[in-house]
Amino acid sequence: MKKAVYPGSFDPVTYGHLDVIRRSAALVDELIVGVLQNNHKNPLFSLEERVKILLEVTKDMNNVRIESFTGLSIDFARKCEAQFLVRGLRAITDFDYELQMAQTNRIMAREIDTIFLTTSLEYAYLSSSTVKEVAFYGGDISQFVPPSVAEAISRKIMAVQEANRVTCKSN
Ligand code: PNS
């Protein structure tokens, strides 16, 4: 059985990620999307929220499983008995970081290959960070993320703004 793990932060998932998920799922029997609990980053969405959002937007994809993980991607891939890691390449700017990560992973886990999918051209500019920035400044993100994700982002931003307002008031 061919299995691949697509690891990432997915804070939150965008149409670019979904494009990679759909296309890589077509190459294997099972695709496991691994949502990283990354203690070095300060995500907008909690791990549970990121997983929940992904479950919703991938519910029509029969061979896609959503899991969270901590630690190294290769250890997670081994636990899942996956032979491949999947990563998307948007532009040349991704290449250096991705190559370094893939080479390091290959040295640590000879049995696991990284498969790179070039992101479809219409999503080559897209990142979770830009989507969050556009949303924070009140821009329209409907072209970048599915409706349920856009709703989750606007609810989260309202909650963050409300929390900031309360903190400012009490200072
Ligand atoms: O979506 P992202 O934030 O670009 O994903 C980066 C991710 C999760 C793939 C990468 O940070 C990762 O694999 N982290 C887990 C720790 C690890 O395995 N590092 C690679 C060793 S070089």
Q: Are 152 and 46 a contacting pair, CB within 8 Å?
A: no
Is residue 120 annotated as part of the catalytic site, yes or no? no
Is residue 142 annotated as part of the catalytic site, yes or no? no
**Token digits of residue 67:** 């899991």
Q: Where do the structural domains in the chain lie, given as residue ranges? A: 3-124
**Residue among 53, 63, 71, 48 nearest 17 (CA):** 53
| pLDDT for position 163 | 87
Question: Which CATH superfamily hosts domain 3-124?
Answer: HUPs (3.40.50.620)
Residue 97: Cβ-neighbour burial (10 angstroms; 0-12, 13-18, 19+): exposed
Q: Which residue owns the Cα nearest ligand 1 atom 4?
A: 8
Q: Are 39 and 13 a contacting pair, CB within 8 Å?
A: no
Instruction: Tell me the pLDDT of the chain (171 aa) as tens digits.
Output: 999 999 999 999 999 999 999 999 999 999 999 999 987 778 999 999 999 999 999 999 999 999 999 999 999 999 999 999 999 999 888 999 999 999 999 999 999 999 999 999 999 999 999 999 999 999 999 999 999 999 999 999 999 888 887 776 666
Cα 36 to averaged position of ligand 1 atoms, centre (Å): 8
Taking the model in full, what pTM does it have?
Answer: 0.94
